[in-house]
Structure 1
Amino acid sequence: MRNFYQEFKNFAIKGNMIDMAIGIIIGTAFNNVINTLVKKVIMPPLSMLTDDVNLSNRKYILREASEDLEEVAIGYGEMFEVLIDFLIIALTIFIVVRGINRFKSRAEDPEDQAVETPKNIELLSNLERLMKEQNDLLRESKK
């Protein structure tokens, strides 16, 4: 039991749990931004294009409501809004990750003088260059 407690403590303290919590909080806030963007910015012009039809209210009625029974309907308008939400979120995440990857690759390039190269990348680059030179010298000496 002590080993389990120690593993959990290491997991929580070393940042994994904290990073995950921060990601969930930011994701929740980002979801609210996207929902507002879709419902208040994107859907009103689409509604105008479809003769002021509110897409979230669009549905295919399977059974009309009566005194005894509730209406049964397929809400395809809501599905359309959710798909737009998904596409916007996916596009935004793609753009952010793409930007981070570009910055990361520039930061890891020891030849790029615009971004200061981290010391560990610079040392590895120098080590790789020296090993290549050593291998070239060994190949030449064998000939």
Structure 2
Amino acid sequence: MMDPIISSLKIASSGLSAQSTRLRVVSENIANANTTGNAAGADPYQRKTVTFGQELDRLTGADLVKVSQVSRDNSPFVIEHDPGNPAANAEGYVKMPNVNMLVEMADMREANRSYEANLQVVKQARELINMTIDLLRS
């Protein structure tokens, strides 16, 4: 009876870890949404993305989620005319990060909901384990 509960805990904890990484990356993107390059014409902050994969847990046979890579988004930078900016090129244009705040907020909301769902699974599994222990004591 404990094997399915242990598998559930492992799956949920891998989901918690993956969504935690996703939330960290989204937070970094939001924090750098206006970070331009250091010199005239230099590239600004480049949005990061998280790719998930799966990993087989040999002990339980469960498929666990894992972060397979954190990579950079190759979508084009936004170009703005701001001649007073130190990162402006000779024509007065500045490359701005390719971070779309609406996309980041939606991604953060989805990651947060997934995190909460995995946390609920951990809480339920813990409750089942405690109930099982109480039954065995009786």
TM over 0.5: no
Greater radius of gyration (CA): 1
Q: Report which of the two has the higher share of strand.
A: 2
Higher helix share: 1
Higher relative contact order (CA 8 A, sep 6+): 2
For Structure 1 versus Structure 2, the TM-score category normalised by the shorter chain is 0.3 to 0.5
